[in-house]
């Protein structure tokens, strides 16, 4: 992997999770800790993150001109969220994991009537606070970095006692062979319990995450029912997901375009 690509992926993971250890980063980009330490030094010199002993943390929000999300990523995630919202019906009980894409989905669900959402994300809860007709249940647990996601036993036990029609998760990568994965073992533990609580699992992933595999598997591919991505996705990767048995939904980036769906129904 070239240094520029490796550093891009490192920066994405630090921004997504807020606080990532050197070991986790090295595992996720398949490089030595010595190499990743040099990458972190270079990224810090560019003012893109702060190093700490044994890893890196995201910059305070006031220091991030992009808020940790490029404008084009925001457009892609919004498009994915709009399409994913069509998989939620009036009166549904659903689970939403932590992440910026699920936060976009929560905003898109504000108008759904008689909706019940269970989540380990404070940002999802905040987005749904705008709804006058939704019941929002937030788990307990330990707060993880700037993702505002709750992890640990408190979060896992909530989902262990729950049954929902559909669960919506995002992650650091998804492939047709490894499934959904993340750089955080704590987050992976919660996401596995969310998956167990659901009849169907919907994975939300923009095109930059397709084909990538992180250190901790959350869900194997045969447990994923739907994959929602954007129209910039590589057709060959989409075909591999379809061959693995997933129903693939491709969200247009322009509102007047038609979404397309592929795979078993």
Q: Which portions of the chain are predicted below pLDDT 50?
A: 60-72, 255-258
Domain spanning 71-262, CATH architecture: 3-Layer(aba) Sandwich (3.40)
Residues of the chain with CATH 3.40.50.1360: 71-262
Q: Please name which of 207, 239, 238, 213 lies closest in space to residue 79, comparing C-alpha atoms.
A: 207
Residue 229 region, left (φ>0) first, then alpha (ψ -120 to 50), else beta?
Answer: beta
Look at residue 54 in the predicted model and tell me its pLDDT. Answer: 74
Do 170 and 132 meet the contact criterion of CB atoms below 8 Å apart? no
Q: Please name which of 162, 181, 171, 170 lies closest in space to residue 94, comparing C-alpha atoms.
A: 162
Do 98 and 187 meet the contact criterion of CB atoms below 8 Å apart? yes
Look at residue 65 in the predicted model and tell me its pLDDT. Answer: 36
Residues of the chain with CATH 1.10.10.10: 3-63
Average per-residue pLDDT in the chain?
A: 87
Look at residue 195 in the predicted model and tell me its pLDDT. Answer: 97
The three-state (H, E, C) secondary structure of the chain, written as one string: CCHHHHHHHHHHHHHHHCEEEHHHHHHHHCCCHHHHHHHHHHHHHCCCCEEECCEEECCCHHHCCCCCCCHHHHHHHHHHHHHHHCCCCCCCEEEECCCHHHHHHHHHCCCCCCEEEEECEHHHHHHHCCCCCEEEEECCCEEEHHHCEEECHHHHHHHHCCCEEEEEECCCEEECCCEEEECCHHHHHHHHHHHHCEEEEEEECCHHHECCCCCEEEECHHHCCEEEEECCCCHHHHHHHHHCCCEEEEECCCCCCCCEEECCC
Domain spanning 3-63, CATH architecture: Orthogonal Bundle (1.10)
Look at residue 146 in the predicted model and tell me its pLDDT. Answer: 57
């Amino acid at each position: 992997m070239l240094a520029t690509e490796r550093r891009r992926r490192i920066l994405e993971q630090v921004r997504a999770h807020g606080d990532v250890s050197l070991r986790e980063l090295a595992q996720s980009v398949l490089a030595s800790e010595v190499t990743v330490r040099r990458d972190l030094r270079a990224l810090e010199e560019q003012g893109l993150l702060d190093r700490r002993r044994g890893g890196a943390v995201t910059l305070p929000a006031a220091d991030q001109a992009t808020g940790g999300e490029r404008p084009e990523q925001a457009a892609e995630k919004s498009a994915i969220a709009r399409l994913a919202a069509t998989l939620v019906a009036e009166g549904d009980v659903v689970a939403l994991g932590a992440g910026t894409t699920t936060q976009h989905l929560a905003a898109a669900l504000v108008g759904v009537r008689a909706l019940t959402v269970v989540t380990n994300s404070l940002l999802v809860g905040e987005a749904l606070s705008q709804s006058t007709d939704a019941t929002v249940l937030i788990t307990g647990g330990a707060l993880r970095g700037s993702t505002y996601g709750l992890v640990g036993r408190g979060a896992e036990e909530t989902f262990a006692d729950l049954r929902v029609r559909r669960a919506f998760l995002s992650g650091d990568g998804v492939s047709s062979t490894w499934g959904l994965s993340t750089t955080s073992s704590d987050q992976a533990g919660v996401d596995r319990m969310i998956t167990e609580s659901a009849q169907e699992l919907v994975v939300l992933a923009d095109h930059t995450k397709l084909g990538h595999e992180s250190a901790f598997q959350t869900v194997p591919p045969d447990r994923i029912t739907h994959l929602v991505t954007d129209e910039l996705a590589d057709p060959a990767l989409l075909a591999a997901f379809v061959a693995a048995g997933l129903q693939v939904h491709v969200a247009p980036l322009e509102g007047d375009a038609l979404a397309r769906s592929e795979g078993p129904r």
